[in-house]
Amino acid sequence: MRDTRPLRRPRLPQLPRLPHLFALLAALFLPLGLLAPSATAASPPDATAAAGPVRIMPLGDSITGSPGCWRALLWNRLQDAGHTDIDFVGTLPPQGCGVAHDGDNEGHGGELVTNVASQGLLPARLAATLPDIAVMHFGTNDVWSNIAPDRVLAAYDTLLAQMRESNPDMRVLVAQLIPMNPATCAECAQRVVDLNARIPAWAARASTDRSPVVVVNQWTGFDTAADTYDGVHPNAAGDEKIAARWFPALAAQLETTPGDPGDPGDPDDPALTCTASFRPSVSVWQGGHQAEVTVRNTSASPVRGWTVTLRPADGARVTQVWNGTLTTAADGAATVSDAGWNGALAAGASTAFGLIATTTAGSAAAAIADCAATSAS
């Protein structure tokens, strides 16, 4: 299929830092082959130069890259919202999808994040593409291979350190993985839940003001029967859901990232973020369990309230909460708001609420949580 991506300026080899006059001569004579080859290592960004497009690396496995059509939908959502000075980057080319978009990506089919970390595969990819933001959905093959969450999160630590070495201001959006339920892996569904439950706490620990790590919940509301074609890889409906989840989180980062022409945002009213970490099975009995959710203010400003959305797995239902206010929808999704006295959280502060859920026979239900914060002003 003909590549229908919008035309983009070709990327010239990067040159060592040169005085202005010599740099101008270099630009004029480079096409004639009159200069020595460019340096093999990319020179550091020139803080005095005009900011270029924000470079965004979609990072992961086949869900991201083969063909990863959610990237096309996300690209066009961003364009329609006015975020036009962006550049999707990666060492892999676009793989179809039939939609005009910037298809460069770093989604390698079959890769395990633990292998990428242990084999040191990411630094060369970063050096070749120099991203400002990473959009990472990575770990599905590790789950399938029964790699323990501790090892997956250790690999996340390695990749994050490599990203920050490439760019100290790297911003990372990390997904709680979409569900998986392949015919050949009956245990995979719960393994995804187990890993996802650990990601918010990891992100809260790893995030810094200079290099934030933002969790994007791709699990809640995603149905392997309706949204995948094989229990693992998204179909068209799944691509729409994945793009819809990435969009607000990525757009928020673009509004505060140099180089984007959109609204820079009010510096006195920064984006407020919080995470909700689910600790299942505090206590378990026949037909039910007790669990705990920790809410943390991950923004740089105080919040005056928070709301957490829970979608229990395996048909479980939240029936009772304490230290929070419960609202339950017909499909079982539960919304828990602060109890008033525990709503105000300083930057980095946390609180917790408990819950009781009914479960089906033999279920070890867990849940994934979204968190929304309310400004203290």
Q: Assess whether pLDDT exceeds 80 at residue 349.
A: yes
Residue 367: predicted pLDDT = 60
Can you tell me the mean pLDDT for 166-189? 95
Report the largest interatomic distance among the alpha carbons of the chain, rounded to a whole angstrom: 79
Residue 281: predicted pLDDT = 60
For residues 13 and 31, is the Cβ–Cβ distance under 8 A?
no
List, in sequence order, the alpha helices (H) in the chain: 20-29, 62-65, 70-80, 113-118, 122-129, 140-144, 149-166, 188-206, 224-227, 236-254
Q: Give φ, ψ of 79 to 5 degrees.
A: -60, -45
Confidence of residue 85 (pLDDT cuts 50, 70, 90): very high
For residues 250 and 173, is the Cβ–Cβ distance under 8 A?
yes
Residue 6: predicted pLDDT = 42
Can you tell me the mean pLDDT for 34-57? 55
Cα 302–Cα 306–Cα 312 angle in degrees, nearest 5? 145
**Nearest partner of 303 among 267, 261, 271, judged by Cα:** 271
Residue 184: predicted pLDDT = 94
For residues 155 and 116, is the Cβ–Cβ distance under 8 A?
yes
**Nearest partner of 193 among 370, 371, 372, 365, judged by Cα:** 365
Can you tell me the mean pLDDT for 36-64? 67
For residues 317 and 235, is the Cβ–Cβ distance under 8 A?
no
Decide: pTM greater than 0.85: no
Looking at residue 303, its amino acid is V
Residue 366: predicted pLDDT = 52
The bridge status of strand 303-312 relative to strand 334-337 is antiparallel
Cα 27 from Cα 317, distance rounded (Å): 65
Cα 292 from Cα 121, distance rounded (Å): 37
Can you tell me the mean pLDDT for 46-58? 73
Residue 346: predicted pLDDT = 84
For residues 334 and 312, is the Cβ–Cβ distance under 8 A?
yes
Could you tell me what percentage of the chain is helix, strand and coil, using 3-state DSSP and rounding each to the nearest 5?
Answer: 30, 25, 45
Confidence of residue 368 (pLDDT cuts 50, 70, 90): low
Q: Name, in order, each residue with C-beta under 8 angstroms of 3's C-beta and a sequence gap of 6 or more.
A: 94, 103
Residue 334: predicted pLDDT = 82
**Least confident window among 216-230, 270-284, 309-323:** 270-284
Rounded to 10°, the helix 70-80/236-254 angle is: 40
Q: What is the mean pLDDT of the chain?
A: 80
Residue 359: predicted pLDDT = 76
State whether residue 17 is helix, strand or coil: coil
What's the pLDDT tens digit per position in 139-166? 999 999 999 999 999 999 999 999 999 9
Kindly state the tokens that stand for 69. 């059509």
For residues 289 and 356, is the Cβ–Cβ distance under 8 A?
yes
pLDDT higher at 295 or 3:
295
Residue 308: predicted pLDDT = 87
pLDDT higher at 344 or 282:
344
Can you tell me the mean pLDDT for 333-348? 85
Q: Assess whether pLDDT exceeds 50 at residue 218.
A: yes
To which H or E segment does residue 326 belong? strand 325-328
Q: Name, in order, each residue with C-beta under 8 angstroms of 158's C-beta and a sequence gap of 6 or more.
A: 117, 118
Cα 267 from Cα 273, distance rounded (Å): 15
Residue 326: predicted pLDDT = 87
